[in-house]
């Protein structure tokens, strides 16, 4: 089946259109707002678009694992990396506790090979339930910096995310994203940032284009590894 937009992408684009429309409406010369008021709205639209991109990442990852659970996926149908990350994440907390209290007895009890709740994620024949915690995958990496996005998508099995999006769109999306976030960070730190609607429009179109390639890349990944019925 051909690609269809994820639910997370559709929700992002609804917010995108609302923000873009507002910025466009106040850009006209006959709108009786001061330059400072217009600039403040342009700045706000950029910050809110970044928040919408962050929300896309969170919703997409959570929807991904909800769909696996809803459709009764076996663990063999789920990418290896999120399963491996789940095991690593659970073990890491155990080792961190050991470093703190040096209680070997507790560590051995929690790590013992008969601990089904810990090692069930290894069994390909298990039906997916709560083997992977989507929140643990996304929560510390949902701010959409290039570094976070690389790590986040590697966690779900896409090793070279920007190589894939760049090949698909024939653009340097990592550079595009950095440029957008530079503006967002300047605004967030209350540094002087004069924006026009042309600036807003250019950045909005760049991020929408990037998200299109991001969504398509994950569609291809999920279909290749799991099958089209698990697309969200």
Q: What is the pLDDT of residues 131-146, one digit of tens each?
A: 999 999 999 999 999 9
Tokens of 10: 């559709």
**39-46 contacts, C-beta under 8 A, 24 or more apart:** 39/193, 39/194, 39/195, 42/195, 42/196, 42/197, 42/199, 42/200, 43/187, 43/193, 43/195, 45/19, 45/20, 45/200, 45/204, 46/180, 46/183, 46/184, 46/187, 46/195, 46/200, 46/203
> What is the full per-residue pLDDT of the chain (232 aa) written as tens digits?
799 999 999 999 999 999 999 999 999 989 999 999 999 999 999 999 999 999 999 999 999 999 999 999 999 999 999 999 999 998 988 888 888 888 888 888 888 877 777 899 999 999 999 899 999 999 999 999 999 999 999 999 999 999 999 999 999 999 999 999 999 999 998 877 899 999 999 999 999 999 999 999 999 999 999 999 999 9
Q: What angle do CA 217, 211, 75 make, to 5 degrees?
A: 40
Q: What pLDDT is stored for residue 101 in this prediction? A: 85
Q: Which residue has the tokens 């907390």?
A: 93
Q: What pLDDT is stored for residue 12 in this prediction? A: 99
Q: Which residues contact 3 (CB under 8 A, 6 or more apart)?
A: 216, 219
Q: What pLDDT is stored for residue 125 in this prediction? A: 96
Per-residue H/E/C for 169-199: HCCCHHHHHHHHHHHHHHHHCCCCCCCCHHH
Q: What pLDDT is stored for residue 107 in this prediction? A: 82
Q: What angle do CA 79, 153, 224 make, to 5 degrees?
A: 40
Question: 101: buried, middle or exposed (CB in 10 Å: 19+, 13-18, 0-12)?
Answer: exposed
Q: Read off the pLDDT of residues 183-214 as tens digits, 9 standing for 90 and up.
A: 999 999 887 789 999 999 999 999 999 999 99
C-alpha to C-alpha distance for 67 and 76, rounded to whole angstroms: 15
Nearest to 123 by CA among 86, 155, 93, 90: 86
HSE toward the beta carbon, residue 137, CA cutoff 13 A: 28
């Amino acid at each position: 089946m051909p690609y269809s937009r994820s639910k997370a992408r559709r929700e992002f684009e609804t917010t995108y259109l609302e923000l873009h429309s507002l910025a466009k409406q106040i850009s006209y010369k006959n709108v009786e707002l001061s330059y400072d008021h217009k600039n403040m709205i342009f700045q706000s639209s950029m910050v809110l678009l970044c928040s919408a991109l962050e929300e896309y990442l969170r919703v997409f990852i959570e929807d991904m694992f909800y769909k696996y659970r809803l459709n009764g996926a076996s663990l063999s149908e789920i990418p290896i990396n999120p399963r491996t990350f789940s095991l690593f994440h659970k073990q890491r907390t155990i080792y961190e506790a050991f470093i703190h209290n040096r209680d070997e007895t507790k560590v051995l009890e929690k790590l013992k090979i008969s601990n089904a709740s810990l090692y069930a994620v290894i069994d390909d024949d298990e039906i997916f339930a709560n083997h992977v915690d989507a929140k643990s995958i996304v929560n510390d990496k949902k701010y959409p910096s290039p570094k976070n996005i690389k790590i986040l998508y590697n966690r779900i099995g896409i090793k070279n995310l920007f190589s894939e999006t760049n090949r698909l769109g024939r653009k340097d999306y990592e550079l595009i994203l950095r440029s957008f976030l530079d503006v967002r960070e300047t605004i967030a730190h209350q540094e002087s940032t004069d924006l026009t609607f042309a600036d807003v429009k250019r950045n909005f179109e760049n991020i929408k284009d990037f998200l299109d390639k991001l969504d398509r890349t994950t569609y291809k990944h999920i279909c290749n590894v799991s099958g089209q019925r698990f697309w969200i």
